[in-house]
Amino acid sequence: MLKALVIDPGKCTGCKQCEMACSYENEGVFNPSKSRIRVFDFHEDARFVPYTCTQCDEAWCQQACPVNAITTDEMGVKVVSDSLCVGCKVCTIACPFGTINYNASTGKVIKCDLCQGSPACADACPTAAITYQDIEQTGFDKMKLWAGKTGAAVEIDGPNTPV
């Protein structure tokens, strides 16, 4: 079963536990600057939006890498090989979302690899703003919410169907 991170910015409180968990899981330190997930702070609106690599099907970062250091694993996750990465940062320029970053302490790039199937950010999120779900169900919560807003069920091809 393929899975993906699902982010609901409406539930994010800006606690940044996801950033701390990510940096600890991947770098062994509690340092948000070494996190592969970031929480963007919209000061004027008092809103927070977590964002990270979306594991694009046609990943521009992967296509741009001159040494083929970014590969796709069996789950569709784009993974950076530290042994192949030369730190040229071409992938950081190619990513239209800005979710692949340069780690100055290692001279390599870092990006979300979904923690090999157990994302620390989702585990650490106290409000379920970040969840790890079956890719086939990622839109289900939004559909359910929208259906609840309409307030009425619609019968299709039944006796009350408008002609």
Give the model's confidence band at 161: pLDDT under 50 very low, under 70 low, under 90 confident, else very high: very low
Architecture of domain 3-150: 2-Layer Sandwich (3.30)
**pLDDT tens, residue by residue, 126-136:** 999 999 998 77
pLDDT, tens digit, for every residue of 88-105?
999 999 999 999 999 999
pLDDT (average), residues 131-146: 74
DSSP 79-119: EE-TTT-----HHHHH-TT---EEETTTTEEE---GGGGS-
Mean pLDDT of the chain: 89
The pTM of the full predicted model, rounded to 2 decimals, is: 0.80
| CB of 98 closer than 8 Å to CB of 60 | no
Report how far residue 88's alpha carbon sits from residue 99's, in angstroms, rounded to the nearest whole number. 16
Question: Rounded distance, CA 25 to CA 110, Å?
Answer: 13
Residue spans of the domains in the chain: they are 3-150
Which 3 state secondary structure label does DSSP give 34?
Answer: helix
